[in-house]
């Protein structure tokens, strides 16, 4: 297995990434967060939580304030973890520098959450198998990733014409590596997987999918954020909630 690409420790890229709204103001700057939050348990009191690809640690710190007894936050980037610790005001979060593709969880977790990370992983099947052995029966796994329609094209971009804008989709059924340009960086490596592939891999690892949302802005969202209007033309984020073992 090849090591994960770590663009986040590049100084220029990290500076550009730090300018994103969701990194400047946290979860309030992540439009999909209310949907993701609704997939998580109503209470985290006394729970053990794992945040895979924690970035600045926004979700990890939220989990701690929501009552989690223990929070483990994992990321491949030293710069990400350094910034997370700067924001952490003496909390009890354990920050772990590790490639999520190869990370071996220890102990049993009640909740695992991952925000916009899984599309970077080379071996999602192996990651899910390791998670399955570390989530208690009935535990929750909630994640977001780039939507397959967003990630599939060879050149993911809007094509604008006379009075219209569209998102051409190509190679949808050809899963695997995609190299894109993002925030001034070229050759950013991501992995396109179809929605049914996520279902198959989750089911094969013993999870039951309970929630599936192709996030898009509501009318109320657009009143507050008209700049989100292009998000009506194609889904950018897929959110999935799953339970370890059967439901009911």
CA angle 102, 107, 108 (to 5 degrees): 105
The pair of structure tokens assigned to 209 is 């999918």
- Rounded to the nearest 10°, the torsion over CA 151, 243, 81, 15 is 20
pTM higher than the cut 0.85:
yes
How far from the centroid of its chain's Cα atoms is residue 231's Cα? 18
Which pLDDT tens digit goes with each residue over 43-83? 999 999 999 999 999 999 999 999 999 999 999 999 989 99
Distance CA 208, CA 132 (A): 11
Tell which CATH architecture fits domain 7-21+42-147+194-244.
3-Layer(aba) Sandwich (3.40)
Contact between 173 and 189 under an 8 Å Cβ cutoff? The reply is no
Range in 28-42, 69-83, 112-126, 149-163 the model is least confident about: 149-163
């Amino acid at each position: 297995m090849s090591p994960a690409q770590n663009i986040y420790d590049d100084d220029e890229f990290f500076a550009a990434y730090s300018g994103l709204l969701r990194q400047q103001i946290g979860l309030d700057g992540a439009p999909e967060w209310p949907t993701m939050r609704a997939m998580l348990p109503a209470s985290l009191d006394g729970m053990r939580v794992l945040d895979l690809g924690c970035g600045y640690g926004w979700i990890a710190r939220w989990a701690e304030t929501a009552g989690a007894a223990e929070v483990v936050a994992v990321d491949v980037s030293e710069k990400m973890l350094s910034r997370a610790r700067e924001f952490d005001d003496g909390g009890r979060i354990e920050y772990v520098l590790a490639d999520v593709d190869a990370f071996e969880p220890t102990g049993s977790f009640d909740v695992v959450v991952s925000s916009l990370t899984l599309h970077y992983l080379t071996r999602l099947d192996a990651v899910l198998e390791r998670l399955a052995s570390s989530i208690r029966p009935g535990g929750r796994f909630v994640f977001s990733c780039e939507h397959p329609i967003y990630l599939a094209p060879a050149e993911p971009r809007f094509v604008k014409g006379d009075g219209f804008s569209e998102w051409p989709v190509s190679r949808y059924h050809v899963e695997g590596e995609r190299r894109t340009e993002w925030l001034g960086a070229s050759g950013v490596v991501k992995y396109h997987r179809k929605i049914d592939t996520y279902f198959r891999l989750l089911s094969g690892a013993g999870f039951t999918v309970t929630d599936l949302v192709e996030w898009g802005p509501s009318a109320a969202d657009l009143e507050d954020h008209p700049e989100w209007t292009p998000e009506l033309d194609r889904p950018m984020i897929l959110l999935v909630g799953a339970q370890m073992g059967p439901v009911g």
